[in-house]
Every structure is written in structure tokens, then in C-alpha cells.
Amino acid sequence: MTLDQLRIFVEVAEHGHVTRAAESLGMSQSAASAAIASLEGSCEIILFDRVGRGIRLTDNGRIFLREARAVLDRASMARSVLQDLAGHPGPIGIAASQTIATYWLPRRLATFQAANSRMRFNVVIRNTNEVETAIVEGEANIGLVEGPTQHPALIRQLIDHDKIVLVVSSEQPRLPLNKNGRLDLRVMKWVVRETGSGTRRGLEDLAARVGLSVNDLNIALELPSNEAVREAIEAGAGATIISRHVVASAIAAGRLTEIPIELPQREYAMVRHRDRHATLAEKALVAHLTEATSQPVSLELSENSLKVAP
């Protein structure tokens, strides 16, 4: 069993196709075919069913695929450590939430890049839940999330705070206030991000803190990006709670109106894998991203409703 065989096996399994896998690996079809045959022969096991003129993973193959991936992941980690030690750092994988990747990360990465021109980054946008798994699985080195994280294998560092705001379209700023002149979350129409995103979580947390469950809220629209949500709100689809960065210019331009209630600040956190070796490059980036974090602010809440500032 060699790493090459595993690499070929995984590629073939993922493509479901010997020829295309071979292409994508830059080798001949016969070489790929031979590698699979040799892997199967070495343990007298069948990993692919030859069905028709194609192939399909057997159940055994599917089980072994997980193992093969794990070995390759570990090997690529080892390789990147080696290259880092040799002073040829590979790209640093960063998985960040939409809000952070769009409004927080770019300028910090730019200043860091300016000072460390040889370093390269590989930034992917994932919602908070997906970032968590990306770090645990080793798909990325550094994760940047808004909400809380659960996994015990993660170390978490606070890196910043974000003010979130409640906004509605400027064309229909009629607020459903209750008899006490307070804002009732239940009678508003909400436009939200998908479950698992930090932005969505912001609303869920707020609801929970005034004694409501998510089911009590009237979710009118669920959209997959901050900008999509903003567009919907501008079109009058309802209200949302979102990072001030996303809506600052729309508010300034008068297209959106911010409802002046006190909302909790949200934490931006960096998560990394507890047991994974951090390359020198990674350590430098971590240091750069963690410097100068601001302080959180508390929030006063009451039953099912929120005080609107005078």
C-alpha cells in the first residue's frame, strides 16, 4: 500500500471514473487501472464493481475510502510541516464566515500580506457550523466564526466584536409596537440567513433572551448571503438583524432605517485545532489577527419585547 495508490484510489472513487481520474492526476488510464488492481490484489479485496463499462465503489470500497482520505490528509499535513520547516510555507487555509470574510478579514489580510509578501492564503467562505467541521477535519488551518463553537478539539480566541443592528426598509418603517410602546418580535416579518450561520444565530439568541423560541418568529424569507438579505430588506420584505458593516452604506444612503434598540455585541472568534502543528507562517498570521481586540458590552432585556430608544 503506497500513498500514490491511495491517492489514485481516492481520485477514482470520487470521479467514479478511471479515465477521468487519471486525466485529473496527469497520468495514463492504464497506470491508474494498474494501481487500483494492485491495491485490490495486495489484500485480495474488491473495491470497485465493474458494472457495464463503468465502475462503482463497493460497500467495502466506501468504508476504505474514509481510511484512505484520512491517511492522505495526514500525509499532506506532514508534507506541509516539512515545507514550512524548510522555509517554503504552503498556503494557509482560512475558513471564515461570510460577514468576517467580507468585512473584517480583507484589510487585515492585506496588511499582513504587505508585510509578508511570500505568504499565500486560501480563503473559503463557510457558515459558522461548516467552519467548525473544516477545522476539525483539517480542511483549513484557521477558522473565523461569529457564533459559539462546541467541539472540544478546538481552541478558541476572541479576535473582535461586531455591532449588529435591526433594520427595515426606509419606505415602510411602521413598527409593530405593543401597548407599552415596546417592540414585539413575534409580529414582525423577518428575513434571515440560513441555519448554521452566525447572522441567523444572532436573531435566534436575541429571541431566546427575551423568552421566545425561533418557532415563535415569523420567518418570511431565508436567503444565503448577507447582501441577499439586505437587498430583500431594501425591497421591503421585512426586518432583519445583521452586522452594521453590511448595511452601513444603505442606512447612510437612506434606503434602510435602523431601529434604535440595544442589541448585544457579537463576538468574532478564531478557532484552531488543538493538536495540530502550527507552521511558522500560521503562528505569524495568528499573532497578527489576534492583536488589538475590543471589549464586549452588556445588554438589558425584558420579557418578549425590546425597549426602543427615545
Q: Distance (Å, rounded) from C-alpha 279 to C-alpha 162?
A: 29
Q: Name which of residues 53 to 72 contact DNA (CB under 7 A).
A: 53-55
Maximum CA extent, the chain: 78
Residue 6 binding target from a second copy, DNA, none, CB below 5 to 8 Å by type: a second copy
If the CB atoms of residues 38 and 83 are measured against DNA, the closer one turns out to be 38
Cα–Cα distance, 151 to 271 (Å, whole number): 10
Mark the segment that binds a second copy (CB under 8 A) among 80-88, 142-150, 204-212, 232-240: 80-88
Task: For residue 133, state whether it binds a second copy (rule: CB under 8 A).
Answer: no
Name, in order, each residue with C-beta under 8 angstroms of 14's C-beta and a sequence gap of 6 or more: 21
* Closest to DNA by CB, 48 or 64: 48
Site for a second copy in 270-309 (CB under 8 A): 277
Burial 113-125 (b: 16+ CB within 10 A, else e): eeeeeebebebeb
Choose between 151 and 209: whose C-beta lies nearer to a second copy: 151
Binding of residue 70 to a second copy (CB under 8 A): yes
**Residue 37 contacts a second copy per CB under 8 A:** no
Count residues contacting a second copy (CB under 8 A)? 29
Report residue 127 as a C-alpha cell. 457558515
- Are the C-beta atoms of residues 272 and 155 closer than 8 Å to each other? yes
Task: Choose the contact partner of 36 out of a second copy, DNA, none; CB within 5 to 8 A by kind.
Answer: DNA
By beta-carbon proximity to DNA, the closer residue of 51 and 115 is 51
CB 298 within 8 A of CB 180: no
Nearer to a second copy, 1 or 297 (CB): 1
Instruction: Note whether 180 binds DNA by CB under 7 A.
Output: no
Partner that binds at residue 75, options DNA, a second copy, none, CB closer than 5 to 8 Å by kind: a second copy
Q: Which three cell numbers stand for residue 52?
A: 457495464
Using CB under 7 A as the binding rule, whether residue 173 contacts DNA is answered as no
- Nearest distance from C-beta of residue 84 to DNA, angstroms: 23
At CB < 8 A and 24+ separation, what contacts does 62-69 make?
Answer: 64/9, 65/9, 65/10, 65/13, 68/6, 68/9, 68/10, 68/13, 69/10
Binding residue (CB under 8 A) for a second copy from 8, 68, 167, 247:
68
Tell me if 179 contacts DNA by CB under 7 A.
no
Q: CB neighbours of 4 closer than 8 A, spacing ≥ 6?
A: 35
CA distances from 111 to 5, 108, 119, 251, 285 (A): 42, 5, 12, 28, 11
Cell numbers 435602523 correspond to what residue? 258
Among 81, 125, 214, 248, binds a second copy (CB under 8 A): 81
By CB under 7 A, name the binding residues for DNA: 2, 4, 17-20, 22, 26-31, 33-38, 48, 50-55
